[in-house]
A and B are shown apart, each in its own frame.
Chain A
Amino acid sequence: MLPVPLFHARVQVSLRPSVLDPAGEATRAAAGRLGVEGVRRLRIGKAIEVELEAPDPATARAQLELLSDRLLANPVIEDWSLDVREAG
């Protein structure tokens, strides 16, 4: 039996532009205190790394899209993007 293909994915979750990011603002202020003066915008998101077994790339992508949209991100306040590659 052939081994089930393994996929590596990276899901980037970011707050939607309309949502206030007070933690990002506080970090931006700290950048100024470090001496980095040019930071005009700083938004904090999450990067989630996933390894997934799936029979083929289309199935892998569909599963990862479901995961991103229903669990990893909350579409009310967050956007997500997905980068998938087959391992090996």
Chain B
Amino acid sequence: MTIGIVVFPGSNCDRDVQWALEGCLERPTRFLWHEERDLAGLEAVVLPGGFSYGDYLRCGAIARFAPVLEEVRQFAAGGGPVLGICNGFQVLTEMGLLPGALTRNRDLHFLCEPAPLQVQPGACRWLQNYGAGERITLPIAHGEGRYQVGGEELRRLEGEGCVVLRYAANPNGSVGDVAGLSNPGGNVLGLMPHPERACDPQTGGTDGLRLLAAALG
């Protein structure tokens, strides 16, 4: 039941994810350095937040070519649960595992605040512990979280039930209020909010706990 946490040069939420999984959920984790190719024995993989490769060129653009992600792509193709948080979501879009792109926030500010969200779990494995339409609050912390995709593509994603998390009060200008997206298979989730920072009542709520717990079967 070990969960892999990918570590790129510049990742900075990898230890937060480890703390949430080990400290709050008592599950073993294993760090996967960006050059790692061995995912044997892992139940799920998390791409954490941060600034992989300094966010050079575009957020996630360089990370996409990391050797570990070739293995993560295979893992996801085989139905393995993959979670991309913040920078991890940006990496998933650059990899093409999720459509669209994350761009500079509408008002240019780095936003670091609690974000009220609405969950539509659909087929997303990571969100099965939440009710349809449930309101939760998770912290956001990003400068480039404005989800961008063409209008037709957005309607297709909505039709397929891939828009699984929406902002209740859109903070960054994302089209369709998109805060998180699932693939149609439901095993890959990318989201800008940080569930790992909402796992302990002493640090601002526990709404993220059920999300991380979902990967644990």
Contact = CB atoms under 8 A, between A and B. Distances in A.
Interface residues of B, number: 20
Given A74-B94, A76-B100, A22 B107 contact: yes
Contact of A22 (B65, B93, B106, B149): B106
Interface of A: 18-23, 26, 71-72, 74, 76-77
Interface in B118-172: 146, 148-150
B57 interface: yes
A79 B148 CA distance: 15
B104 A23 contact: yes
Interface centre among A22, A26, A71, A74, by most chain B C-beta atoms within 10 angstroms, is A74
Interface centre among A19, A26, A72, A77, by most chain B C-beta atoms within 10 angstroms, is A77
Interface string B47-59: 0000000000110
A22 B105 CA distance: 8
B57 A76 contact: no
A20 B150 CA distance: 12
B103 interface: yes
A20 B108 contact: no
Given A26-B108, A71-B61, A76-B149, A20 B173 contact: yes
A19 B103 contact: yes
